[in-house]
Homo-oligomer: A and B are copies of this chain.
Amino acid sequence: MAEEIKRTSKKAGLPPGSLIHVGKKHSDKVKITIIDYDKDNLDENTYESVDACEKFVDKPSNTWINIDGIHQVEVVEKLGNMFAHHPLMLEDVLNTHHRPKMEDFDDYIFFTFKMLGIDKRGGIVNEQLSIVLGKNYVISYQEREGDVFDILRERIRLGKANIRLRGSDYLMYRLIDTVVDHYFLVMENIGERVDQLEEEVMSEAAGDATMKKILKMKRELISLRRTISPLREAISSLQREGSDLIEEKTYAFLNDVQDHTIQLVESIETYRDVLSGLMDMYYTTISNRMNNVMQVLTIIATIFIPLTFVAGIYGMNFEYMPELQYKWAYPAVWALMILMVVGMVVYFKRKKWF
- Interface residue ranges, A against B (CB under 8 Å): 1-2, 4-6, 8-9, 11-17, 86, 88, 91, 98-99, 101, 103, 151, 155, 161-163, 173-174, 177-178, 181-182, 184-185, 187-188, 191-192, 194-195, 202, 204, 207-208, 211-212, 215, 218-219, 222-223, 226, 252-253, 255-256, 259, 262-263, 266-267, 270-271, 273-274, 277, 279-298, 300-302, 304-309, 311-321, 323-327, 329-330, 333, 351-353
Bound CA–CA A6/B305 (angstroms) = 56
Q: How far is the CB of A184 from chain B (nearest CB, A)?
A: 4
Bound CA–CA A273/B279 (angstroms) = 15
Contact yes or no, A226 B309, CB < 8 A: no
Question: Which chain B residue lies CB-closest to A9?
Answer: B184
A263 and B316 in contact, given A1-B270, A212-B202, A277-B215 (Cβ under 8 angstroms)? no
Question: Which chain B residue lies CB-closest to A253?
Answer: B16
Question: Which chain B residue lies CB-closest to A155?
Answer: B15
Tell me if A's interface is mostly helix, strand, loop or mixed.
Answer: helix
Bound CA–CA A304/B339 (angstroms) = 17
Q: What is the copy number of this chain in the assembly?
A: 5
Cβ contacts under 8 Å, A184 to chain B:
5, 8-9, 11-12
Q: How far is the CB of A51 from chain B (nearest CB, A)?
A: 26
Cβ contacts under 8 Å, A307 to chain B:
309, 312
Q: How far is the CB of A325 from chain B (nearest CB, A)?
A: 6
**What 11 additional pairs, Cβ within 8 angstroms, besides A1-B271, A12-B178, A211-B281?**
A14-B181, A16-B177, A91-B256, A99-B263, A219-B273, A222-B270, A287-B287, A293-B298, A293-B353, A297-B301, A320-B329
Bound CA–CA A312/B315 (angstroms) = 7
Among B280, B288, B294, point to the contact of A294 (Cβ < 8 A): B294
Question: Which chain B residue lies CB-closest to A2?
Answer: B191
What are 24 contact pairs spanning A and B, CB under 8 A? Answer: A5-B184, A6-B188, A8-B263, A9-B185, A12-B178, A12-B182, A12-B185, A16-B177, A88-B253, A208-B285, A226-B266, A286-B287, A286-B288, A287-B287, A293-B294, A296-B298, A300-B306, A307-B312, A308-B308, A311-B315, A314-B316, A318-B324, A319-B324, A321-B330
